[in-house]
Amino acid sequence: MTRSLWKGPFLDSGLIRTILRTDPKGKVPKIYSRRSVILPQFVGMEVEIYNGRSFQSVLITEKMIGHTFGEFALTRKPFVPKKK
């Protein structure tokens, strides 16, 4: 089920503060809120998204707008079969 249009996209209040405080060429912001939506203002930024164990570095592009941060930081290791 999608979110109501009158509510707008979901953003954690802490995420807004973090993004607005960071310098574009300074420290990379760390994002814990995987459920927050990527907005057009974030394009071109490099962020680190928490996957439950570590941070994964992601560069935000125009194709990511409207998706959540959690979609771009996998929480499970991909299965790699052992060679015999």
Superfamily the domain 28-71 falls into: Ribosomal protein S19/S15 (3.30.860.10)
User: Mean pLDDT of all residues in the chain?
Assistant: 89
Amino acid at 30: K
What region, left, alpha or beta, does residue 25 occupy, with left being phi > 0 and alpha being psi -120 to 50 degrees? alpha
Written as six digits, the tokens of 71 are: 């979609």
- Does the reported pTM lie above 0.85? no
Alpha carbons 29 and 19: distance in angstroms, whole number: 7
- DSSP code for 12: -
Q: What is the pLDDT of residue 73?
A: 93
Q: Is the pLDDT of residue 24 over 70?
A: no
